Amino acid sequence: MNQISKITVSVNRRSYPWPQVPAIAICLDGCEPDYLDAAIDAGLMPTLKRIRKNGTERTALSVIPSFTNPNNLSIATGRPPAIHGICGNYLYEPQTGKEVMMNDPRFLRAPTIFKAFHDAGAKVAVVTAKDKLRALLGKGLTFSEGRAICFSSEKSDQTTKQENGLDNASSWLGRPVPEVYSADLSEFVFAAGVKLLKEFRPDIMYLTTTDYVQHKYAPGVPEANSFYEMFDKYLAELDAMGAAVVVTADHGMKPKHKADGTPDVVYVQDLLDEWLGKDKARVILPITDPYVVHHGALGSFATAYLPEDADREDIMARLSEIDGIDLVLSRPEACVRFELPDDRIGDVVMISSENKTLGTSEHRHDLAALNEPLRSHGGLTEQRVPFIVNRKLPELQSAASLRNFDAFYYAVVAAAQPVG
């Protein structure tokens, strides 16, 4: 008979029980809840179907902007961007006029749950599809004691014991490095997770995928269904090995194109240039990253820095009038409502409607590479995500406002339950 451990780990003013079995959170990038429903209806996810019935199923709200990095870091820290600081892929420094990539660990302001558990003596493993997240998620981990592993599928042939806790993860797993734009990049994450659970037996494990498939394919289409069918097989293995598993997502995904298949975009920089003069205001799209092939840097969240002499109220009123812009907030309003770091947000925040995106200037978006009608995210209409636990958790059923960044809390709560 197992005793519930009295040890707890405190990080970012939340207290986590010590897991008695491995506690795993899986972030299915861009997993609009409809993807799971469609794949289950098609009979392709028997494991998840059983888990939804016998475990606990909820939906949760993601962080706004409903982008990948802010949500992954919220899941990793258990807190919103106001605490951890990562509110997009880019930030703008008005003092220097420079746009700076925010994927350097120095921008992360809070310790991760992985570091806190590792420091308390736990074994931790983190596998991410894209390497852009690896350094942020791995911040503060040390690999010399052999209790931490952190790597990406993308750079899995370049891992070392010193930097990642494992030499050449690609040959360790017996899988070649996948293409960066592929479903394989995510499958590699799941396969690595299964092997790590078997051989390394981490106390805490985070598996986070890429939304390449979800940007291209709608729920229920064969390519999407086969992605979730593939996931279900790995989920079955993780579940069978006795781990407590929480399945959630960083954000949903919605079609953002016109009837003819071309992207539906409000070009905000062009508007502000027209109203205030060329380049007087600066529009920042925090979705922008080096991998733009699947979304053309078009999402549903934008922030703008206005010139000092601009009439903010007037600009906000005019933006609110634009068809497709659903919400316009001042910096203070946005930072309170969405718990954002106010030193990394512009004067105005805009969110577009379900089927529209926000762009800078028309000529700056290279849409030639988009080979499917645009699907994207970033706004309130992509905030609802799955939250499924392979255990019965009465305390979760009554949680009033569940967030995706509660994933590790409920994973360790489930993993701290007495076995049997």
- The contact set with Zn ion (CB under 5 A) reads 29-30, 68, 211, 250
Structure tokens at 266: 């409000």
Helix (H, G, I), strand (E, B) or coil at 362: helix
Rank residues 154 and 250 by Cβ distance to Zn ion and give the closer one.
250
Which is closer to Zn ion, CB of 56 or CB of 186?
Answer: 186
- Min CB(301)–Zn ion separation in Å: 13
Question: How near is the Cβ of 60 to Zn ion at its closest, in Å?
Answer: 15
Work out how close the CB of 218 gets to Zn ion at its nearest, in angstroms, rounded to a whole number: 16
Pair of tokens at residue 280: 């007087």
DSSP class of residue 178?
Answer: P
CA distance 168 to 174: 10
Residue 79 or 215: the one with the smaller Cβ distance to Zn ion is: 215
Rounded to an integer, what distance in angstroms lies between the CA atom of residue 204 and that of residue 120?
Answer: 12
Residue 404 CB, nearest distance to Zn ion (Å)? 11
User: Of 50, 55, 141, nearest to 413 (Cα)?
Assistant: 55
CB of 31 to Zn ion, least distance (A): 9
Determine the Cα–Cα distance for residues 369 and 26; give it in Å rounded to an integer.
30
Nearer to Zn ion, 216 or 282 (CB): 216
Beta strands in 67-144 (DSSP E): 90-93, 98-101, 124-128
Beta bridge partners of 41: none
Q: Other CB atoms closer than 10 Å to residue 418's CB: what's the count?
A: 9
Min dist. Cβ of residue 66 to Zn ion (A) = 8
Instruction: Return the residue matching tokens 């805490």.
Output: 204
Minimum distance, C-beta of residue 231 to Zn ion, in the bound complex (Å): 15
- At 34, list the tokens: 């409809």
Q: Nearest distance from residue 74's CB to Zn ion, in Å?
A: 12
The DSSP symbol for 179 reads P
Greatest distance between any 2 Cα atoms in the chain: 72
- Closest CB to Zn ion among 147 and 251? 251
Nearer to Zn ion, 306 or 358 (CB): 358
Output the residue with the shortest Cβ distance to Zn ion.
68
Going by C-alpha positions, the residue among 72, 90, 358 that lies closest to residue 81 is 72
Nearest CA-CA partner of 51 in 343, 387, 346, 359: 387
Strands 124-128 and 148-152: parallel
| Closer residue to Zn ion (CB): 20 or 128 | 128
In order of 5, 150, 193, 202, the CA distances from 168 in angstroms are 35, 12, 15, 19
Closer Cβ to Zn ion, 184 or 270, answer by number: 184
